[in-house]
Amino acid sequence: MITKPKIYTEKYVKKQVSSILDTVISNKDILYIGELFEELPFPRQCYSEWANDFKEIRKISDTIKRIDSILESRVNVAGLKGKANPTMVIFNLKNNYNWKDKVEQELSNPDGNLKTITIIKTNGSKDNTST
């Protein structure tokens, strides 16, 4: 059985993510990763696949992390400064950067004293403490 060859080589992906980073740095108006793919010859999904497929290749994974970090910061700042729709900012941060809602519940224990317990839903990673 012949398997289909991998279309995206390490060399190709390095070149593409480097180009995407250059675009993000040069265009401060870009807030969402999907905006970058309007002019590119591949779909947005490829970016997510590359992040997974090339996570062991430091040059690629570090570049993708930098792109994501820049865009996360930009959308957060745009929301804080009122330059972006707050609802869209919330959805973007939750869906693309693992931000979570903080849920607080007050419970009373048997001795009648109220205790406040903070419950934060995370994906199990200890580094998702941004609020």
pLDDT above 70: percentage of residues in the chain: 74
What pTM was computed for the model?
0.72
Residue range 62-82, pLDDT digits in tens: 999 999 999 999 999 999 999
Name the burial class of residue 47, with classes exposed (0-12), middle (13-18) and buried (19+) by CB atoms within 10 angstroms of its CB.
Answer: buried
Given pLDDT bands bounded at 50, 70 and 90, which one contains residue 108?
Answer: low
Distance in angstroms (rounded) separating the CA atoms of residues 91 and 126: 22
Residue ranges covered by each domain of the chain = 10-97, 100-131
Q: Tokens 């199990």 — which residue?
A: 124
> What's the pLDDT score for residue 7?
79
What does pLDDT average to over the chain? 84
Give whole-number Cα distances, 120 to 10, 29, 76, 80, 115, in Å.
38, 32, 20, 22, 16
Whole-number CA gyration radius for the chain:
20
Under a CB-based contact definition with an 8 Å cutoff, are residues 91 and 45 in contact? no
Q: Pick 4 or 123 by higher pLDDT.
A: 123
Q: Is the pLDDT of residue 9 over 90?
A: yes
